[in-house]
A and B are shown apart, each in its own frame.
Chain A
Amino acid sequence: MSLYEALVSSLKAIWSNKMRSFLTMLGIMIGIFSVAVLISVAQSSTSSITESIENEGTTQITISLRGRRIQNTFDLNDVEDIRELEGVKNVAPYTSGSLTLKNSAESMDVQVTASNDEYDDINNYNLISGRWISKNDEEKRLRVVVIGIDVADELYGTRDVVGEKISLSGTSFTIIGVLEEQGDTMMGSGDEVAFIPFATGQRMFGDISISSIYVGTEDSESVDTAMSAIENFMLAKAGGDDTSYSIFSSSAMLEMLNETTTTMTYLLGAIGGISLLVGGIGIMNIMLVSVSERTREIGVRKAIGATRANIMVQFLIEAVIVSGLGGVFGIILARLGTNLAGQIMEMNVTLDSVIVVVALGFSIAVGVIFGIYPAAKASKMNPIEALRYE
């Protein structure tokens, strides 16, 4: 008996118990479907976050100051001290506040960032027109502003706005540049923004404190050196109170993110493993029922010349077809599921081909593992007793 013949005979058996076979298949199908979709969504969302971090540059270090005490004692001299630390290339003080931006007709509330002439370098910003804040703007506390494209679109309906006047909560500013499209970032829209010189901002916000310092390093290799130098500097500055500030680098964050993704994938894989286990037990159960229902058939087959191997292969193939088809349908559903999830979450969710191959491999393996015992039971039947079975 060839494999093809065993296949045909197994398909016939599966087809003659359509409902039962389908329900058994469903167990595997749901398992494969849910794991494939969950892993795809997890992987796609991390990769989109990773991409946005990488766009912002991996040479960036952010120092956040927590609490008024340190914010009040931290000034621009300290910022200059940080500039002297090993590995540090750029430093930008940062503070922000919500202001109402207005031209003659329209107005909108925007989170306005106040920083210096190096902030754009640190954040890898490019402008579509005009220029960034200069040292001169900073020193003379000029009322100049760089706006995001959403602000330009909304207030002016055009991006050609350099030189236009704009009112920031009642004070008139001149637009000197428009930032290119940033897309959504972790902090919200990257395009509904405005930037003003740091000193101007202190005056606008009525607050001279610095809430964060952005640091750019020479290159990604010097991030670690700079981190530890900054760590030491801040600890001394805070008088040993390391809860009053936090330092993080985007490369450290990427690393953390990758670890999280890996953990998440394993976790989802484990859940998938459990659901496949349950599906596999379903297959074993139904195969045992099938073997006992077909005892007489097995007896006849053995009497007229089927070897143990023939019987074994026949039932094993049956189990593998049920679980394998479950896997195939699960993947087809997962394909539709990832598309749907992508549309709902408004991002690109793809079903990785590795996931497809692994999932199909697992579903077939489940059929083999859980099909072996029933198949072996069938193959070991004594033909005399099997023929006598009612």
Chain B
Amino acid sequence: MAQGRADRLAQWKAGYKMSVLIEMKNMYKIYEMGTEKVHALDGVNLKINKGEYVAIVGPSGSGKSTLMNMIGCLDVPTSGEYLLVGQDISKMSDRELTMIRRRKIGFIFQQFNLLKKSTALENVELPAMYNGNDSKERKKLALAALEAVGLGDRTKHRPTELSGGQQQRVAIARALVNDPPVILADEPTGNLDSKSGEDIMEMIENLHGKGNTIILITHDKDIAEHATRVINILDGRITSDKYSEKQRKGVAK
């Protein structure tokens, strides 16, 4: 894992030409509510490159959650195409989607969603377990991931014994453990006080700095400012797609 990340970091630093990670072509998601048809996604076209830090911003009901579910391979579009690392997700079966989630997506949730009865280590091991790593291997991976989020000394703690910020860091470690190409964070600071929220955002920025591709879903424009690219969504359509000040500054350097 560490080796792969270091390689990627090296490539990125060397000005490696960014390759397309996510590509959505004319994607629709239509829910039928009785006789009415609701267009949760109304023709979305989107490309996200490897190594980008993208914030998807919109108020509730804008379709950002639907878009997140699509990106996270939790759902498939009604029509259109979704290519993730070159694979077409839109026609995949439930089982195939699960396999993609296992290997390609790291989820960070607003509610942390850790298993309450399990220790931090066990929580972090879970994706590795489903991925088929044996117990020794996944323990090593999980310890490394917890180490990376600064919780190497909290491995035996259960979620109830950890602060909100610590719980979210465990969740981040869990998202990282299978070293997925996409990290998908859904309002990661929504349940945290501002100090812990800042810590988490800093940690996510660090992950980006190490070459991870981050997609951040939020309704909060300030939080979105942390990203290098901000996509606004409203009524299922992308209304704007801009590189942020920071990115421009970064490019200017």
Q: Using a CB–CB distance below 8 Å, which chain A residues touch chain B? A: 1, 5, 12-13, 16, 296-297, 299-308, 310, 383-384, 387
Contacts and interface: CB of A to CB of B under 8 A. Distances in A.
B50 interface: no
B101 A303 contact: yes
B117 A304 contact: no
Contact of B74 (A1, A297, A383): A383
B95 A308 contact: yes
Closest 6 CB pairs of A and B: A305-B102, A305-B130, A300-B113, A304-B127, A307-B98, A16-B117
Contact of B101 (A5, A297, A305): A305
Interface residues of B, number: 27
Contacts of A16: 117
Contact of A387 (B109, B126, B131, B178): B109
Given A1-B130, A310-B130, A297 B115 contact: yes
Q: Give the dominant DSSP class at A's interface.
A: helix
A302 B126 CA distance: 11
A300 B95 CA distance: 16
Given A1-B129, A304-B127, 8 more contacts: A1-B132, A300-B109, A304-B126, A305-B99, A305-B127, A306-B130, A307-B130, A387-B109
A384 B98 contact: no
8 contacts: A1-B129, A5-B129, A12-B117, A304-B107, A305-B178, A307-B99, A384-B74, A387-B109
Nearest to B100: A305
B208 interface: no
B45 interface: no
B95 A307 contact: yes
B247 interface: no
Contacts, number: 56
A15 to B, nearest CB: 9
A308 B74 CA distance: 13
A304 B95 contact: no
Contacts of B75: 384
A308 B95 CA distance: 7
Contacts of B117: 12-13, 16
A307 B130 CA distance: 8
A195 B130 CA distance: 83
B69 interface: yes
Contacts of B98: 302, 305-308
B229 interface: no
B72 interface: yes
A16 B127 CA distance: 22
B94 interface: yes
A310 B103 CA distance: 16
Contacts of A384: 69, 74-75
B130 A303 contact: no
B95 A303 contact: no
B174 interface: yes
B101 A304 contact: yes
Interface centre among A304, A307, A310 (most CB of B within 10 A): A304
Interface string B106-136: 0101000111011000000011011110010
B33 to A, nearest CB: 15
A235 B192 CA distance: 101
A299 B75 CA distance: 13
A303 B129 contact: no
Contact of B72 (A1, A300, A303, A310): A303
Contact of B126 (A13, A299, A301, A383): A301
A88 B177 CA distance: 90
A219 B45 CA distance: 98
B15 to A, nearest CB: 34
A303 B126 contact: no
Interface string B197-209: 0000000000000
A300 B69 CA distance: 13
A383 B98 CA distance: 10
B124 to A, nearest CB: 10
A13 B118 CA distance: 10
Contacts of A304: 101-102, 107, 126-127, 130, 174
A331 to B, nearest CB: 30
Contacts of B107: 303-304
Contacts of A1: 129-130, 132
Given A1-B129, A300-B115, A303-B107, A308 B72 contact: no
Contacts of A296: 113
Interface centre among A16, A300, A307 (most CB of B within 10 A): A300
B103 to A, nearest CB: 8
A301 B74 CA distance: 12
A387 B108 CA distance: 12
A341 to B, nearest CB: 42
B215 to A, nearest CB: 15
A138 to B, nearest CB: 87
Interface in B68-114: 69, 72, 74-75, 94-95, 98-99, 101-103, 107, 109, 113-114
